[in-house]
Each structure stands twice: as structure tokens, then as C-alpha cells.
Amino acid sequence: MPRQYFFTSESVTEGHPDKVCDQISDTILDALLAQDPTSRVAAEVVVNTGLVLITGEITTKADVNFIKLARAKLAEIGYTIADNGFASDSCAVLVALDEQSPDIAQGVDSASETRVELSSEELDKTGAGDQGIMFGFACNETPELMPLPISLANRIARKLAEVRKSGEVNYLRPDGKTQVTVKYEGNRPIAIDTILISTQHNPGVTQEQIKADLMKAVVIPCFADLDLKPTEATKFLVNPTGIFVVGGPQGDAGLTGRKIIIDTYGGYSRHGGGAFSGKDPTKVDRSAAYAARHVAKNIVAAGLADKCEVQLSYAIGVARPVSLLVETFGTGKIDEDKLTDLVEKHFELRPLGIIQTFNLCNLPADRGGRFFQDVAAYGHFGRNDLDLPWEKTDKAELLKKEAAAL
């Protein structure tokens, strides 16, 4: 009999302090790339009670008002009321930025980040913006080819923010966390064991009322289109301490890049350790992680594996990956060495090639000045609510056809 076990993933809402920082960082990135697609950006944000600090390294021809951007994003998230302890129009916003290190910049040629088709030799001239390892993952547990626990945790977190903003549950405040435990038998999800929601709220609202309202307005709608649903045996926990009034940056400090597991696969797959938000696409922590997801998703979509994890590694200033590993955990339909050959043949994994394949430097301008800020909350992968180029399964049929001929 296959082994039974439990796996848990968590997510947070856009009002969580760390996610506030991610979104401000990527709002800055969007604004800079929209004006100057060759901008070099490593924007870091810190928030605390009454304070936003914008720091990091930026080299750009763009002219933006960082303070105005931060306040507008805070207001969009929902920090507009002073009694939350943190409000967009009254917090202090400090800016302490440097230019990108010339030692890093020398390894990254910015002259060719356009839609123009470049030769292989030209692509080799633009190296990675840093060394590092990146992982991409996909599995057939959900239609979007994501692990079920993180898919559900993100879905519930997004719905929690939606009912807050619409006023359907009008006592909610911006900060919140979700967590879902799924019971597995072998590789197959068989039950929703536990759903946990911790949400900031106005004073005077009882735990019992919040639990009843969230079951009706958040949990049940989130499972409406899914075959696997909560049952009477599913444990539903809401604000386990009883009260969650003080939250957001008033309750905890926040920092860009502290929710990297939520950003990716909820711990179900490995993670290279690099954060995404605030980094321009020459930083392979971001762009190569997107490319690795694209590879893994197309392999699973082609039916060549039930699970697929792709690892890439890079050296600063060097265009071609130092290593490529394709792992299918015993679920592959063809030999992994042959899968690796197909990946090398059909996927562009050099930094400038990735940028051009996904049009990463031009997307903020093409989409009205915002793109990266929209993936800065609720996950960078498996997003059916956004048109993300690395989520396309545009190479699945080609892989399937060539694999059949091997």
C-alpha cells in the first residue's frame, strides 16, 4: 500500500509586512523599466511602525518619485486608515540608494535588451548578473501544474484580500496568513486535512463570527471548481490566539525577499535561496528561476513526467549555465539524460536569451507600467489570473513529438 503522509504550505496576503516590501520593490522596478528597459535595479525595502526605508542599488536613466510610488502602493494594498497604526499618507518614507557596483556591471552588457533577434554569438556576450543556483518545478496535481498545498494557500490568501477590498467582509484589515495541509497517498492528494487562516481585523469582532464569515465568503468559493474539497473531517482554524487586531508593519517589521518559499512552491520543491522582488531581469535569481519553471512545466504538460524539477547554475559574467539538472523523481516517461538533451536543444537558458524569450525588460511598459508588482504577492508561479510568459506550455507539443521519436 502506498505511504500516506501530510504536506503543508503557507501563504500571506498582500498586507503582510514582508509582502508589502516585495510589492514596493517591484513597483519601483516596474516604474524604472517602463521608462528605461536597461535599468539596473536591486531595490530593497524595509517597513516598521510608521516607517518605509527604500535602499539598495539602482542605475537608470528613468526619473521617478520613489516616495510617491511607495505611498501609492501602500494605499492600494489598503493601508489608508491611521488607526491601523500604519497609513500611506502619514508614514515616513526614507530613500537611501546607491548606483550598481561597476564590478558587477562589467559582466552584464546592457546594449541589446530589446526585441531584436540576436545571434548566438551576441547572446553569449551578456553574462549572468551574479552567480547562483535556481530551481523550477511542476507537477500534475493541479490544472496549473503546481503542488496542491501552495496552490490552495495562495488561492485562499488572494480570496481573503478580495473580500476585504470588496467590502463583503467589511471588518478585515490588510495583514493575513493562510496555511493548508493536504493528505497524500503516494503521490496523490486524497484529502484536505487542515485549513488555517489568520487575519487582521477591526476591534470588537468575535473569533466565531470571523470563522463563520470566512468559511462562507472565502473557503467554500475557493474550492468551488475543485474535485478535492474540505469535508466534515477537515480541521478549520481561524486566528488561533483569538485576536489579531495589531498587524502589518505596526505588528512586525518587514523586509524584501523574506517570503521566497511562498513566492515559489511552498517548500514542496527545492529553492536556490535567491529572492525575486526588486531585481531587474539580468539578475538570474529572478529570470533563470522563471526559465526553470517554464522548462519543468512544459515537460509535465507534454506528459513526459508527473513531476519535474530543473536546476540551473550560473557564474557572474558568464552567459551559459554552468550546470543543468533535470530530475523527475522516478515519474519520467523517458530517460532523464534524453530529457536534458531536449531541454538544451529547445530552451534558451542564457540570461539575455531568457530576457528576450519572455520580453522581461519591456513588459512593464507594454502592460501600462505594471507587471512585476502583480507577481510580488500570491506567488510567481501557477498564476491563472495573470498572463505570465513563463507559465505558457508553448513547447509541450514539440517535446512530446520529439520524445516519441527517440
Catalytic residues: 16, 18-19, 44, 57, 177, 244, 252-253, 258-259, 279, 283, 285
Q: Is 254 left (phi over 0), alpha (psi -120 to 50) or beta?
A: beta
Main-chain dihedrals φ then ψ at residue 195, nearest 5 degrees: -120, 125
The answer to whether 253 and 243 have CB atoms below 8 angstroms apart is: no
Pairing between strand 132-139 and 172-185?
Answer: unpaired
Contacts of 225 (CB under 8 A, 6+ apart): none
Strands annotated E in 296-395: 307-314, 323-327
Separation between Cα atoms, residue 376 and residue 20, nearest integer Å: 9
Q: At 134, is the secondary structure helix, strand, or coil?
A: strand
Separation between Cα atoms, residue 303 and residue 333, nearest integer Å: 8
DSSP 228-291: S---TTSEEEE-TTS---S-HHHHS-EETTS-HHHHTTTTSS---S---TTB-TTSHHHHHHHH
- What is the chain's length? 406
DSSP 76-104: HHT---GGGT--TTTSEEEEEEEPPPHHH
Name the CA radius of gyration of the chain, rounded. 22
Separation between Cα atoms, residue 179 and residue 185, nearest integer Å: 20
The answer to whether 372 and 303 have CB atoms below 8 angstroms apart is: no
The answer to whether 374 and 311 have CB atoms below 8 angstroms apart is: no
Contacts of 315 (CB under 8 A, 6+ apart): 127, 128, 131, 322
